[in-house]
Amino acid sequence: MAILNIVKDGDEILRRKCRPVENITPRITRLLDDMKETLHKANGVGLAAPQVGVLRRICIVECEPGELIELINPEITEMSGEQQEVEGCLSVPGKWGVTKRPEKVTVKATDRHGNSFTVEGEGLLARALCHEIDHLDGIIFYDKCVRMLSPEEIGEE
């Protein structure tokens, strides 16, 4: 496994729509492994393939340590409620904003073995799933911000 370089805001790859994964190859599973290692090193909650320079519909989310969710070709099938919470992004270091997201989502995806599955998320998990799936469509969290936070509000001066 390897630690991958996280693409930073301003790189055009973050604004591009990702292609679906047609076949799960050893290269795809290696990417998932590398993304997991990269996420852990960066102390993040989620990571999408375009954030590491790969335009494929792949993302991972880990809201609770040891509960990694790998999603290939994810799509949100249901959403309900609303939450407004603070969000940040590994590709946009030092910037935080309040985003409006659904309180609950259902996501259909494929795992690394080619099996379809569904995951339901509420609160932070719902937010993380939406955030990472947005990356696959070239959307960055601040595109959905109600307001960005000032350095004082996030404890940086």
Residues acting as catalytic residues? 132
In whole angstroms, give the CA distance from residue 53 to residue 143. Answer: 20
Q: Are strands 83-89 and 92-101 parallel, antiparallel or unpaired?
A: antiparallel
Up-side HSE of residue 146: CA atoms within 13 Å toward CB? 10
- Per DSSP, the residues of 122-134 read ETHHHHHHHHHHH
In whole angstroms, give the CA distance from residue 135 to residue 7. Answer: 12
Q: How far is CA 45 from CA 59, 93, 98, 126, 154, in A?
A: 11, 14, 17, 12, 18
Question: Which residues neighbour 31 within 8 Å (Cβ) at sequence distance 6 or greater?
Answer: 49, 52, 54, 56, 58
